[in-house]
Structure 1
Amino acid sequence: MITPAFELTQDPDFLTIIIRVPYAKASEFDVFVEGEDFRFYAKPYFLRLTLPGRIVEDGREKASYNTDEGTFTILLPKEIPGQYFEGLDMLTSLLTPKKSRSAKPLVEEIGASAELSEEEEQEFDLEIEQIPYKESAESIPPLQCPYGFGNLRSGAFQRLQDELSDVIDIKDPDQTPAGERRRKRLEAEAAKFDPDHYLADFFEDEAIQHVLKYKPWWVDAHKKMTALKGKNQDKGNSAAGVVFSDAEREKLRKFTNKSYLLDKSSRHHIYLGLIDILLAYCYEICVNEGDNNVESSWNIRKLSATLCWLESFTSIHDVLVSFGRRVLCYPLYRHFGLVTRALSDTVMILQLGKAAVLKCLLDIHKIFVESDDPAYILNDLFITDYCIWIQKIKSKKLAALSESLQKTALTKSHLGLELEELEAAAVLVLEEENMLKAAGTVSKQQLPESETSDSEESSSTSSSETEGSDSDERESSTSEDGEINSFQGTLPGERTAPLSDCNGLRQGTNTSALEVSDGKSKVSGQSPSQTGKLIEELEKQMHSTMRLSEQPEGLATASCMAQEQKENQKPEPDRVSEDTSGKDNFLELSSKPNPLLFLCSTNEDED
């Protein structure tokens, strides 16, 4: 809190306290009087005095506020009329709080269950230390840089810098010239610009396109004005459709009438500052669709370099460039379409005349007053003076200003943020990602075919591995069948295959065929006694085969399977033929193929 400058005077019946609180929130102040205690509060100022005499509140007290000088004058009646208060000029002793006469222990025990209520925790410390304000030639810096409406103010932030650090971005504006402010502002904007945020709003702009469809009140008013101009070719009523509310009229009545002595340069700065403030206001109305919220004050002052950096522009193009850069650096929605939309809205407002401009300024004034932060300081520096000044200018000045604003072009390249290069690079990246995705989709579509072929190859490989012996046997049997069929060309039947499957002679037959194909020396080497034994064994096997063929198909198959299992437990004839253990009957069987095949085929035909 800041201790304000004050002075006290007296007469026999009243004590007069004059408190100087420039740029205070005069609409909200509090005065407390009780005996010798006097307290005054108007954010960000606080004053507590211990008076040398007692005062009372009996209905005769009065208070007034001078907006030009920024001073409160409070008239308080004395409890004892005619009493003389000594030491009213001893400011340090008046600021010293009255000591309590009750002795308190240095250490006090507080119970575990004792807790402070929220009201006690949030209670303002009335015993805060106060430092008397001294205004001397040494405390005033030699350089005072002007700012505010028409650059008519200076020194406003000398003692309020800590309180207003959230309102303006420039540090120590009283000692910073206009050129240095502009340089620091451009550096801050360049550091704040976020390419990712900008590209996100550039490519995903559904919410932005939605707010761009909102139509504020001046759109309908502009249509009405255009319709009236169409009917009356000479001139139209620019104020048509602009209606002030009762609260706005009441606020206009409270403004103090002023006269401004402005040179040409000051008027030029005022017009450009007005454009800058209206652009920020139009952006705020568009993105929030006409509903003010807690961020409205921040949006307006942050997007306006006039309010946030105390900037003094020299051309309309500089105003547009500054506004465009700040839109793409600070708010939630950072889209160039919002910049052009605010520009067109500002042109409409200026074409509607000073009534529409005044209505917008009154709304800005209200937003700053109701803000939680000390944005009201900007009302005292700019908005209040704009509201008073705009009522006295001629409408043709605003018409000329809107025409100049329409002729001023603004492109992305003017903003100095390399937006076009950034967008082109982002488009190339997206195209490359789309190509990669398309290639990935094609590969995924082709993947099942390759997997199928791989599975087929693996299955064929596994089948070839598991059926290696069978495949070899099939190949040999195929070639052997060809040789057997050619060898049996004069035989009347081909039912030897079922016969050999059931009695287990398939392998023996194949073996004999292989042996026959390999050479006939073994046949010729057999003795006649061995041939007789072979015929006897063959007759026995044929009788058993005939009995199996007469059975039903299922029983025959079962018996065949059982017989095959028994035969599998025995050594295979071809393998036994390689054994030298002395089983001559199998060797004799494999070495006598011709009678065997002939007898088998004739017996099958008889069946």
Structure 2
Amino acid sequence: MITPRFSCSQTETSVVVSVYCPSVRASDVELNVDDTLFTLHINPYFLRLNFTHALQDDDEASSASYDPSSGYLTVSLTKAVRGQNFEDLDLLAKLLAPRKSERTEETPLIEVLDSQESVSQDDELAARTEGLSLADQEIFEAAENDWQIKQELPTSEPSLKTSVKQSYGFLNLYTGYFQHVEHTENEVNELGADAETSRPSERRQRRLKHENDKFDEEHYIADFADDEYIVELCNWEHPFSSLETDWSYTEEEKLSMLRLPRKEYLISPVQNHHLYLTLLMLLFSYAYDSRTTQKDPTPESPWTICSLTAAFSALDPAPYTPSRNSSSGHFDVDELIATFATSYRRSLVFPLHRSYALAEACKADVASFLLGGRRLVVRCLLELKDILDHHDVYYVYSKIWLADFCLWAQAYASDEAFAQLASVVSSLKVPKSLLGWDLDELEALVDDNTSRESDSDDESEDEVEQMLPAQI
């Protein structure tokens, strides 16, 4: 079956689904509405959409019409609650996601039929309690009063692995993509032929060593001293930062969403928390490339994006510090600083323009993207994916990371979490001392040298002025 191109809109009373299915017989169309689920089948097309609110299976109010000249089938579905707003109708991947299964509460397996004997046993139970130790009495009272005693599962031995391969990518779902990496021109791969077998701890160690080895003090000082072009890049305003709220996805973006794989993820709260952190790195890389190219990607853009993203080039995603609130939905300032510090470090090592001020501007862009909510974040991810998809080597990172992130951002991420992140990131300070290269000292050298040159020029001017009367 083929998933057709479609778009959704709404009125006060209905949801309108426009489906492109040319050269079909309208009499063969099969439509079905089941609460929030809408299905359409007309050979060879099949479409299943899961809306956020319930629809009404009303043959009288609902309607469908087919225009053979344009090839569009327009279906009008009645809302169960008149005037209810259906959110995220333009997030096509979310609409295509399967409906989540509802777990029913388990009923008790034991039913108490008669409690007469329990009264006669109270005295015996009290006598036994008197003979218990203090710890035993605490447990007994906790059970009797339904107190919550802290419990910890014993640490088990790691499971036996029969393969040396290590998983990587989105939720560690992928292996085998770097088996023949030695035969490809993958210049951003920092693990080489060990990409398939390196453990996460080894990847991080190798990444840090590679960054320290590649840091060039002279390059950083040169960009800091001659910062005229850097200032222009920092002053440039990203079009998305002033985007109106009523914008809509382009047809190309809609097609990209339809081409995403159909997946359903079983994500724990901790994993979901870590995905938000890794997303910050993706948005930072996108912001850097957008600023340095004025949002006009060049042939070097795929290399720049992959080099700036540790999850790509070193297969080393966030978190970079122990997270205390991973399962609570809150973000610690320390873990956010550590995440951006990783992106800052890479922006000062690999690309052409290496400036702390430029990294700060990119962080501000990330905050504005997050403030735009899921729709804007998805748009940024789709642009990232499109850039990598057109590269003959780096498309692999789109396969193992970006395709899944585009799905996750639509169906699993929340605008509330993005708003919280935007608030924290906008006021976040990433200290230079945390980056590990004594940037303050390097910048002080430039400032001292500049001040000496200015003093020398002033002295030369004074000497010239003193000599002029004598010459006259």
Flag whether TM exceeds 0.5 (same fold): yes
| Among candidates 353, 359, 363, match of residue 333 of structure 1 | 353
Structure 1 residue runs of 4+, over 6 Å off? 447-452
Q: Work out which structure has the larger RCO, using CA pairs closer than 8 Å and 6 or more positions apart in sequence.
A: 2
What is the Cα deviation at residue 213 of structure 1? Answer: 2.6
2:267 paired with 1:262: yes
Q: Structure 1 161/383 Cα, relative in aligned 2: closer, same or farther at 3 Å?
A: farther
- For each residue in 1:28-66, what CA deviation from the matched residue of structure 2 results, as whole angstroms up to 9, or x when unmatched? xxxxxxxxxxxxxxxxxxxxxxxxxxxxxxxxxxxxxxx
What is the Cα deviation at residue 448 of structure 1? Answer: 7.8
CA contact (8 A) 2:433 2:439 kept: yes
| Among candidates 184, 189, 208, match of residue 206 of structure 2 | 184
Q: Name whichever of 172-181 and 292-301 sits farther off.
A: 172-181
Q: Structure 1 161/316 Cα, relative in aligned 2: closer, same or farther at 3 Å?
A: farther
CA contact (8 A) 2:225 2:446 kept: no
Larger Rg, first or second structure (1 or 2): 1
Gaps of 5+ in 2: 1-160, 320-334
Residue in 1 aligned with 2:297?
292
Q: Name whichever of 400-409 and 422-431 sits farther off.
A: 400-409
Q: Which amino acid aligns with 1:386?
A: F
2:159 paired with 1:154: no
Q: Secondary structure in 2 aligned to 1:147?
A: coil
Residue in 2 aligned with 1:311?
316
Gaps of 5+ in 1: 1-139, 225-239, 453-607
2:361 paired with 1:356: no
> Distance in 1 between the 2:462 and 2:424 partners?
57
What is the Cα deviation at residue 450 of structure 1? Answer: 8.8
Q: Which amino acid aligns with 2:386?
A: K
> Distance in 1 between the 2:411 and 2:465 partners?
75
Paired positions, count: 295
Q: Structure 1 143/269 Cα, relative in aligned 2: closer, same or farther at 3 Å?
A: farther
CA contact (8 A) 2:186 2:394 kept: no
- For each residue in 1:206-253, what CA deviation from the matched residue of structure 2 results, as whole angstroms up to 9, or x when unmatched? 2122222322221122xx4xxxxxxxxxxxxxxx24421111111211
Residue correspondence of structure 1 range 123-272 to structure 2 within 5 A:
142-163=163-184, 165-171=186-192, 172-221=194-243, 224=244, 240-272=245-277
Q: Which amino acid aligns with 1:377?
A: V
Q: Secondary structure in 2 aligned to 1:391?
A: helix
2:428 paired with 1:408: yes
Residue in 2 aligned with 1:52?
none
2:430 paired with 1:435: no
Q: Structure 1 288/446 Cα, relative in aligned 2: closer, same or farther at 3 Å?
A: same
What is the Cα deviation at residue 361 of structure 1? Answer: 0.9
Residue in 1 aligned with 2:33?
none
> Distance in 2 between the 1:212 and 1:347 partners?
15
Q: Structure 1 325/241 Cα, relative in aligned 2: closer, same or farther at 3 Å?
A: farther
CA contact (8 A) 1:145 1:154 kept: yes
Q: Which amino acid aligns with 2:232?
A: H
What is the Cα deviation at residue 148 of structure 1? Answer: 0.3
CA contact (8 A) 2:186 2:393 kept: no
Q: Structure 1 213/436 Cα, relative in aligned 2: closer, same or farther at 3 Å?
A: closer
CA contact (8 A) 1:167 1:374 kept: no
> Distance in 1 between the 2:448 and 2:181 partners?
50
> Distance in 2 between the 1:265 and 1:298 partners?
30
> Distance in 1 between the 2:246 and 2:230 partners?
28
What is the Cα deviation at residue 141 of structure 1? Answer: 7.8
- For each residue in 1:118-143, what CA deviation from the matched residue of structure 2 results, as whole angstroms up to 9, or x when unmatched? xxxxxxxxxxxxxxxxxxxxxx9832
| Among candidates 393, 404, 409, match of residue 385 of structure 1 | 404
What is the Cα deviation at residue 378 of structure 1? Answer: 0.6
- For each residue in 1:352-386, what CA deviation from the matched residue of structure 2 results, as whole angstroms up to 9, or x when unmatched? 11111111111111111222x41110111101111
> Distance in 2 between the 1:144 and 1:349 partners?
36
How does the TM-score come out when normalised to structure 2?
Answer: 0.58
- For each residue in 1:14-39, what CA deviation from the matched residue of structure 2 results, as whole angstroms up to 9, or x when unmatched? xxxxxxxxxxxxxxxxxxxxxxxxxx
Q: Structure 1 366/271 Cα, relative in aligned 2: closer, same or farther at 3 Å?
A: same
2:300 paired with 1:281: no
CA contact (8 A) 2:308 2:347 kept: yes
Residue in 1 aligned with 2:364?
344
CA contact (8 A) 1:151 1:266 kept: no
Which of the two has greater helix per residue?
1
> Distance in 1 between the 2:162 and 2:305 partners?
31
Percent identical pairs in the alignment equals 27
> Distance in 2 between the 1:325 and 1:311 partners?
14
Residue correspondence of structure 1 range 454-493 to structure 2 within 5 A:
none
CA contact (8 A) 1:218 1:349 kept: yes
